[in-house]
Chains A and B, each alone.
Chain A
Amino acid sequence: MALSLKVRRAGAPATPARPPAGDGPRRGRAGYAFVSAYFALLLLFGVAPTLYAVWLAITNSNGQLVGLGNFAQVLGDYRFFPAFANVALYLVIWLVVLVVAVIVLALMLHGRLRRASSVSRFVFYLPGALAGAASALVWMFMLDPSVSPVAWLLHGLGYSTFADVIAPQRLPAVFAIMAFWTGAGGWIVVMYGALNNIPDELLEAARIDGASALRTAWHVQIPLLRKWIAYMLILAFATGTQLFVEPQLVGAASLGEVSDSWSPNQLAYQYAFHANNFNDASAVSIYLLILGLAAAALVVFRSGLFEAGQ
């Protein structure tokens, strides 16, 4: 697909042919017809729920406006800061590991043994098929010393039961491992593709100047990947703030040892489903929505990766 884009640029006429006069309005109406069904879905299941959540967040259960009262109230909930702190710690671990491992692995696989490199990329990418509940389940087996294939490693680290492994202080790292296992492969593929876009002459010039592979990576390749690294970090951050499935499943298997409002999304879920408090649930959702929206807008308008943002 990237290739065909280049073709268009080379063959595009200097000035696009104008549609014949009188054709404009007709084609304009046709445009609306093509996007209308999608637009309806976007309004009904993208815009409407957002606006409704905002409305619920600024009213109380009797439908009276309360301003930012609900936002202040959930801030005062004893579970609010721990939930955000849990996810913040998880994000720090996950993003650092992600950025280091993805860059190192993409560089290592780039330009070596074509066959081995493509097999490795596929194997790294495969766990992406197990997103969601399945991956959490697989990792609960991996982290249970009684059945884990790396039980020796878990015992060596001093964990003899599953409960030891999922002790509260270790959970951010546990969830980071799960996220890395399912998500890193996709990013390695993307980063590898971006490395392929760097002109060979540039690497050749560095080599002739006597730069080692390490120096070339540091001074030439990584700076040229900056846009992609930022893109990966922002999207991984946004997805990470929404963490829900993994703590939900591990919580279900922990016999109450793991809090049922470990992450902010779980807290919002608790408000909605166990306290029937839709207003406070909306307030927490809006906090999370703002994080997600801000990250997405940052990528669209600032990264230069997307056409419409310019």
Chain B
Amino acid sequence: MIAPSRVMARVAWLIVIAAFFIFFALPVIWLLLAPTKTDAQLVTGGPLAFGSWHDLRLAWDHVAAFDSGIIFTWLGNSAVYSFSALAITLVTAIPAGYGLALTEFIGRKTLLTITLIVMLMPSAALVLPLFLEMNAVHEVGSVWSVILPFSLFPFGVYLAYIYFTSSIPKDLLAAARLDGCSEAGVFWHVALPLARPVVALVGFFSFVGNWNNFFLPLVMLPSDQAAPIQVGLNNLLASTPAFNPVAGGADLNFNRPELALTTLLAIAPILVVFLFSQRALVSGMLAGATKE
């Protein structure tokens, strides 16, 4: 026999959790269903009803045809910027984390402190200063003005640092040195093969951050052809009648279902990363600030 007050507590628990479940999940579910409907159905039909495959196909055709397929250009740009920056991040951050963790040099502690501060500082705070810098050296509009700042990823350095200090036995490195391995050899042949988990983790976080970044490419890349998808969403918003009735006429085939489908395409790569590496992402979030 369970006391009535405990039953009440359980019911209250369920209600609160269910309410937040709906709050967090409903927008995602709505977004998944919206492209299967016509714009009229979105307004009049049940919000959680499935439309039809035919309408999804139609929305897809409209998205593909929009402005001669510029949406795919944007997605391609996002991929180029994100993956290029990801590559440079890995090549710079993993050795840096190793150097900070397992070698001694003057200024090591200072560099570590600066890394922490830049990592915790919101990245948006640096966007306009970066723009002014790039403008002074006439690099605004070049893809490097986005890729190189993306590549600076102190959080990745910190994750690698934590990993190398905690998971690589120093004896192992010392043994390799005794065997005549050079410092570069120790890193390449001993430490790096053991560091695969943290390489994946840094890669995920860097990719997600770069793909979702809006502010930096918005200021650096004024050309519509060079925009990544996040900036493209902004441009769509300004030029289609979905939220902007006066902008109508540009393309009447592009309305709310098409906008929802484009949003889905924009988040699809990140959603995939989240679904397949949930455990790694969560452990990384905790490691970001876990000492004990």
Q: What is the interface of chain A, defined by CB distance below 8 A to chain B?
A: 1-2, 4-8, 16-17, 19, 23-24, 26-35, 37-39, 41-42, 44-46, 48-50, 52-53, 56, 101, 104-105, 108-109, 112, 116, 120, 122-134, 137-142, 144, 146-151, 162, 181, 185-186, 189-190, 193, 197, 213, 231, 235, 238-239, 241-242, 244-245, 248-249, 252-253, 255, 265, 268-269, 272-273, 278, 281-282, 285, 288-289, 291-293, 295-297, 299-300, 305-309
Contacts and interface: CB of A to CB of B under 8 A. Distances in A.
Nearest to B151: A41
A8 B166 contact: yes
Given A34-B187, A37-B96, A185 B291 contact: no
A6 B287 CA distance: 12
A45 B122 contact: no
Contact of B30 (A28, A112, A142): A142
11 contacts: A8-B165, A42-B118, A45-B152, A50-B126, A129-B274, A130-B28, A130-B270, A134-B233, A148-B47, A288-B125, A296-B117
Nearest to B114: A42
B116 A306 contact: yes
Contacts, number: 321
Nearest to A242: B124
| Chain B residues touching A, range | 35 or more
Residue among A32, A35, A299 with the highest chain B CB neighbour number at 10 A: A35
A38 B162 contact: no
Nearest to B158: A306
Contacts of A142: 26-27, 30
B126 A46 contact: yes
A46 B20 contact: no
Given A35-B105, A253-B237, 9 more contacts: A8-B167, A125-B278, A193-B290, A241-B122, A242-B122, A242-B125, A265-B128, A278-B135, A293-B125
B130 to A, nearest CB: 5
B174 interface: yes
A235 B130 CA distance: 22
A190 B282 CA distance: 8
A133 B230 contact: yes
B200 interface: no
Contact of B136 (A52, A197, A249, A300): A52
Q: Is the interface of B mostly helix, strand, loop or mixed?
A: helix
B24 A132 contact: no
B86 interface: no
A26 B290 contact: no
A8 B238 CA distance: 54
Contact of A34 (B24, B96, B116, B132): B96
Contacts of A31: 99, 103-105, 108
A108 B133 CA distance: 48
A52 B237 contact: no
Given A52-B132, A238-B121, A37 B95 contact: yes
Contacts of A1: 162-163, 166, 283-284, 286-287, 290
Interface string B1-41: 00000000100010011001101111110110010000000
Contacts of A146: 43
A34 B95 contact: yes
Contacts of A281: 128, 132
Contact of B47 (A149, A288, A299): A149
B100 interface: yes
B290 A289 contact: no
Interface centre among B31, B135, B212 (most CB of A within 10 A): B212
Contact of A193 (B116, B126, B213, B286): B286
